[in-house]
């Protein structure tokens, strides 16, 4: 399949002269329909939701709830299992605080992986439970034999990334979930890096929780999603108290609203959710298989071109990966490389990528990370390689 690469008219920031954007794993560019949806909210039906009975309040509520329906279809879940958050990080923290405090004690075990983002490490540390990780090999692939050994300790929860933000590995989360459930564990999947690239079907994955971030999916910042099995959400206490998450309030007692609303206290990011819904529409309108094939082609091309650079070292070479190429250039600190690339208009991420344990695994301080979206091309990679040659000249 082939894909018509989106133009800069669809992603306005990409029209900036001289810009080569290779940092989609940090935040994707925002598609124009999402920007227009947010503008429509602010310009034509600016009002709060779920409260007013006047026309524009109804329009705002409809836009917000329509976005929820779009997300539910996108994840193959239901609206009653779709909770809006401000990002994937908050979604994980909601599970840790609400489900975790009710179900995980100090002596209980939570299993994560060695490739997790800090957002899927620190909340479990704050929970005060025992924490263990599934190790990965030098190729960036998780050791499932070691995982089985951890499951013999009867963990309460397994929390893993669907796709690593550093090495790009696509983890076999359906199999990880199957084994976890057989051991009696609940499963949370961090899908922040997967959702822009892969088809997400929580029924097929059979996970108990799945988290997303709009700003990784061509939508605005400040909006995310927690999918949770309805029976688990219904049993969980609220994460925060306030307006809209209640059914009845007296000074003696409060009755909570039904899910998902009991987890959405206060006035939410209405414009952001409207924009997120438009971004979901955009993602749903394209041929996802063709898009993934295009991204994989650009990634393979980037891998081959970077490997040709003398002194290069690629970090993580799993057979099944997507969207991310992390690497080093011998004798050059990643931050210095990033600065020189920026002077040439090439935007890459350098550092630990909020995944310091991955750096510790490979005994390195940081990496250069080029991460891809559907708008990237082989020409972008040629510019990157040309920029890296300049880096080598400076440090020769």
Cα angle 228-230-236, degrees, rounded to a multiple of 5: 80
Contact 37, 274 (CB under 8 A): yes
Rounded to the nearest angstrom, the gap between the alpha carbon of residue 317 and the centroid of all alpha carbons in its chain is: 20
What is the SS3 assignment for 91?
Answer: helix
The catalytic residue among 129, 207, 354, 363 is 354
354 flagged as catalytic: yes
Distance, in Å, from the CA atom of 238 to the CA atom of 83, rounded to the nearest integer, reads 12
Distance, in Å, from the CA atom of 130 to the CA atom of 109, rounded to the nearest integer, reads 5
Distance, in Å, from the CA atom of 66 to the CA atom of 119, rounded to the nearest integer, reads 28
Backbone angles phi, psi at 343, to 5 degrees: -65, -20
Distance, in Å, from the CA atom of 74 to the CA atom of 288, rounded to the nearest integer, reads 12
Axis-axis angle for helices 334-343, 378-394 (nearest 10): 120
Distance, in Å, from the CA atom of 8 to the CA atom of 289, rounded to the nearest integer, reads 22
Distance, in Å, from the CA atom of 262 to the CA atom of 113, rounded to the nearest integer, reads 31
Q: Which residue has the tokens 């009696």?
A: 184
Alpha helix (H) ranges present in the chain?
32-44, 55-75, 88-94, 101-103, 122-127, 144-151, 173-182, 202-205, 230-235, 270-285, 288-307, 334-343, 356-362, 378-394
Interior/surface letters 75-101, b for 16+ CB within 10 angstroms, e for the rest: bebeebbbbbbbbbbbbbbbbbbbbbe
159: how many CB neighbours lie within 10 A of its CB? 29
Beta bridge partners, 35, equal: none
Contact 244, 307 (CB under 8 A): no
Q: Which residues are known to be catalytic?
A: 354
């Amino acid at each position: 399949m082939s894909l018509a690469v989106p133009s800069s008219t669809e992603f306005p920031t990409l029209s900036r002269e001289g810009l080569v954007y290779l940092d989609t794993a940090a935040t994707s560019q925002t598609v124009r329909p999402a920007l227009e949806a947010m503008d429509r909210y602010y310009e034509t039906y600016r009002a709060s939701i779920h409260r007013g009975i006047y026309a524009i309040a109804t329009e705002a509520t409809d836009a917000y709830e329509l976005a929820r329906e779009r997300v539910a279809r996108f994840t193959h879940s239901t609206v009653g299992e779709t909770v809006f958050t401000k990002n994937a990080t908050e979604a994980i923290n909601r599970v840790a605080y609400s489900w975790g405090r009710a179900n995980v004690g100090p002596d209980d075990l939570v299993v994560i992986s060695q490739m997790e983002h800090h957002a899927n490490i620190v909340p479990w540390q704050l929970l005060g439970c025992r924490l263990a990780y599934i190790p990965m090999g030098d190729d960036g692939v998780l050791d499932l034999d070691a995982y089985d050994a951890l499951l013999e300790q009867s963990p309460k929860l397994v929390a893993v990334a669907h796709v690593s933000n550093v090495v790009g590995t696509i983890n076999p989360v359906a199999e990880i979930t199957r084994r976890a459930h057989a051991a009696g564990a609940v499963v949370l999947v961090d899908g922040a890096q997967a959702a822009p690239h892969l088809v997400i079907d929580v029924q097929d994955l059979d996970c108990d929780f799945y988290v997303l971030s709009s700003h990784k999916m061509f939508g605005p910042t400040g909006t995310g999603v927690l999918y949770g099995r309805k029976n688990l959400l219904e049993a969980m206490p609220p994460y925060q108290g306030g307006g809209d998450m209640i059914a009845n309030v007296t000074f003696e007692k409060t009755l909570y609203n039904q899910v998902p609303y009991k987890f959405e206290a206060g006035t939410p990011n209405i414009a952001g959710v409207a924009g997120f819904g438009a971004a979901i529409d955009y993602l749903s309108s394209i041929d996802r298989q063709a898009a993934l094939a295009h991204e994989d082609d650009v990634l393979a091309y980037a891998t081959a071109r970077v490997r040709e650079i003398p002194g290069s070292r690629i970090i993580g070479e799993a057979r099944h990966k997507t969207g991310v190429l992390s690497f080093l250039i011998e004798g050059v600190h990643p931050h210095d490389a990033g600065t020189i690339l920026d002077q040439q208009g090439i935007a890459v991420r350098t550092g630990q990528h909020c995944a310091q344990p991955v750096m510790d695994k490979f005994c390195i301080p940081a990496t250069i990370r080029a991460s891809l979206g559907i708008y990237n091309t082989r020409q972008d990679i040629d510019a990157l390689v040309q920029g890296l040659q300049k880096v080598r000249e400076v440090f020769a």
